[in-house]
Amino acid sequence: MSPPRRGLLVFNPKAGARDRGRQLESLAARWRACGLDLALVPTTGPGTATGLVASRLPERLDVVAVCGGDGTVGEAALALVGTGVPLAILPAGTANVVARELGLGTAVASAEAHLASTRTRPVTVWPAAGRACLLAAGVGYEARVMGGARPALKRLLGRAGFGVTAVAAWLRYEFPRLEAAGVDAAGRPFRKEGTIVVAANTRRYGGDFLLAPAADPSDDLLDLVVYAGRSTAGLLRYFARLARGKGGHLALPEVERLPVRSVTIRSLEGYEVEAQVDGEAAGTTPLTVGPPLGTVRVVVPA
């Protein structure tokens, strides 16, 4: 009989169900009977998952599983870049974009079966604002929405909590002038101006919004989407097309898409503008994304 596989199950006790710890204890017992021995390790606050995982890597782990939202997943991924240790995701956050993008389901119950899989998919990890970016990083309207969504509102309303904040931000958005400059896919310098700038590693962001249909999370390129509109009506039209999920927003004359290797987004106003990384507030401009740190291998269904 082969020895049991060993690993960690890092979980955010504040993400999702209140009885998450008991649920995971029950699941861990079932996995143990199937030859997968996972030690449960709760995070103690934002940004702590990276250190928790890194401190246990000398134990020669076979897998690191994460139960939490996109933020916790990104923190764990940062510790696993280049190690070869697979990352398994049990989605328990508000948007769960990484899990959606990789076809892992959007709930712990629907995703836990893939833990036994030996199939993995590489996902590029990008540095942004001192943290790991797996999904997208940007400046402007959507960063204001992410930063303005209070944790209590997100817990109470889930993804609808972002909708409440989005309306308020839409009515007050001042369309600041932003500069995006860096290196494009061909290695040439570029410079663009807009009022919302997002650098996407995955196709989706904010849940089901298909922002960058051509993005590939396993390559070493970002899809830069620059919106240059300056009216509330135009912004509504942009997000209406984005919500349809067919890429129609990219056909608008005020929208430009560019594959890039790295980008720095700066404010051209007399003030700095809010930034976000993977759906979490990340301070203000300037925001630099890239070059990539490397890849992490994410467990996907067999």
Pick the CATH number of 5-116 from 3.90.1300.10, 2.60.40.10, 3.30.420.40, 3.40.50.10330: 3.40.50.10330
pLDDT band at 113 (very low <50, low <70, confident <90, very high): low
pTM: 0.88
Most confident of 32-46, 82-96, 225-239: 225-239
Q: Where are the beta strands (DSSP E) in the chain?
A: 5-11, 36-42, 63-68, 87-91, 120-128, 131-133, 136-139, 178-184, 189-194, 196-200, 204-205, 209-210, 222-227, 255-267, 274-277, 280-284, 287-289, 294-299
What residue spans define the domains of the chain?
Answer: 5-116, 133-291
pLDDT band at 154 (very low <50, low <70, confident <90, very high): very low
| 294: Cα separation from own chain's centroid | 16
Candidate from 21-25, 149-153, 186-190 with smallest mean pLDDT = 149-153
Under CATH, which number does the domain 133-291 receive?
2.60.200.40
CA distances from 285 to 113, 136, 235 (A): 41, 15, 21
Candidate from 69-78, 101-110, 259-268 with smallest mean pLDDT = 101-110
